[in-house]
Amino acid sequence: MGRVVMMGVAIAMAVSAAGCSGQSARPTPSAVPASGVPTDGGVVSLTFDDGLERQEQMARELTERGMAGTFYVLSTRIQAAGYLSQAQLALLSQAGHEIGGHTRTHARLPALHRDEQRREVCGDRSALEAMGFTPRSFAYPFHAVNAAAEAVVKECGYNSGRGQAGVAAERITPGDPYNLNTPLSIGARTTLAEIQQYVIAAEQRKSWAILVFHDYCDDCGPLGVKPKIFTDFLDWLKGRKVAVRTVGDVIGGDVRPVPPVKAPSIVINASLENYFGKEGVPDCWQLDGRSATATFSRVTGARTGRWAGRIQVTEGDAGGLRLAIKQDDGECAPKAGRLSVWYTSTVPVRFTLSTRTGDGAWSRWVDGPVFPAASTWRQATWTPRTAQAGGISFGLVLTAPGQATIDDFALR
């Protein structure tokens, strides 16, 4: 922990040296003209994915050499074990590093419905702004991008999207700023000479090398760059004529507003697959009434995908434990429609429903129709009278002590 504190102190000292105006102090290497884009030679951007905690040391190495990087982070992982905290990211930003977006949950965007893409991208950017950052640049998880994903990234207010991997260099004025080309990620097997060659190629072609880093260690997996190689590379890079700029500074453009997140037309995380950072509760869902006699767990043997949810009540109020769509202002809570869910159970189950008014207030939970116990997967459907609702939350509850396994929620 002492090492982390020292890294934070080093970055804070760099901020103090830049002045107390409260504005981000961007290190400006001598090779970079005041306009931000070089008039001769190439450009290099050093980018860092996922907001891993060891990246604070990488940021310190850049700061000490008068360089700035672009850090693409996931809003739901800030504060999580092994990831940078909000305070650490604030110090990076104040030292001149760019904080960009990377979706809420590291989602593979082309595989998602458009509503869920908006939630991942717009919701992530909105959360970062609420933390005091001004994200202009985005990176697609897994470098997975298609035209629909590009359109959502643009709609959510970003000025660029770092995309396709495997191309050595990008044009300084890219043909498609929402699918910026990069070499493959730099990892444990990448040599110093290979990283240097990306820069040399950018110098020779007067192009833009966007380098991708993840972790920082001698032996922490295939995406961990070795510290000595990284620092040797920075020392070598400092002596080159090539400009080192953040992605946002190369692309330019104003900070655009985040559009309001509209109520989705689908159930988000409908198959209960994503559980990251939710203490065992599926992402975009909430759990009410947990007690010693009523439990929720995720289980295998799902109808589709890997996971299903299981509610078990041994005694007491069987309907007191409720897994339902998160009651929010539209990021998760969908529009009204015909409700559907698949279940197996040892006792009868019933729908439970709450609706949101136009001013954002949620109603009390109301009971829906009852469905019989089922030893094999059975679909329950219901079309409630919710025409005036601004959004809905729904789930299944038990009518008596027992258990139910649930999966594949939907709106029809």
Query: Is the confidence at residue 239, as pLDDT, over 70?
Result: yes
pLDDT confidence of 11, banded at 50, 70, 90? very low
pLDDT for res 37: 62
pLDDT in tens, 201-225: 999 999 999 999 999 999 999 999 9
CB-count exposure of residue 187 (10 Å: 0-12, 13-18, 19+): middle
Tokens found for residue 178: 């929402």
Distances (CA, A) of 83 to 163, 223, 277: 23, 15, 12
pLDDT for res 34: 34
Share of the chain above pLDDT 90, in %: 77
DSSP 227-261: HHHHHHHHHHHHTSSSEE--HHHHH----PPPPPP
Query: Is the confidence at residue 315, as pLDDT, over 70?
Result: yes
pLDDT for res 397: 95
Query: Is the confidence at residue 117, as pLDDT, over 70?
Result: yes
Share of the chain above pLDDT 70, in %: 89
pLDDT for res 280: 80
pTM for the model: 0.85
Q: Which of 7-11, 197-201, 207-211 has the lowest mean pLDDT?
A: 7-11
Query: Is the confidence at residue 19, as pLDDT, over 50?
Result: no
Distance of CA 372 to the CA centre of its chain: 39
Cβ(322)–Cβ(352) below 8 Å: yes
Which is nearest to 52 in space by CA: 84, 88, 89, 80? 84
Q: Can you give the length of the chain in residues?
A: 412
Which is nearest to 128 in space by CA: 55, 80, 78? 78
Q: What is the mean pLDDT of residues 28-45?
A: 58
Under 8 Å CB-to-CB from 79, ≥6 apart: which residues?
85, 86
Tokens 């019933």 belong to residue: 350
pLDDT for res 5: 39
Query: Is the confidence at residue 4, as pLDDT, over 70?
Result: no
Tokens 């996922």 belong to residue: 50
pLDDT confidence of 358, banded at 50, 70, 90? confident
Which is nearest to 59 in space by CA: 104, 14, 113? 14
Q: What is the mean pLDDT of residues 284-296?
A: 88
Residue type for 22, please? G
pLDDT for res 36: 55
- Greater confidence (110 vs 260) lies with 110
Q: How far apart are CA 12 and CA 190, in angstroms?
A: 31
pLDDT in tens, 56-84: 999 999 999 999 999 999 999 998 999 99
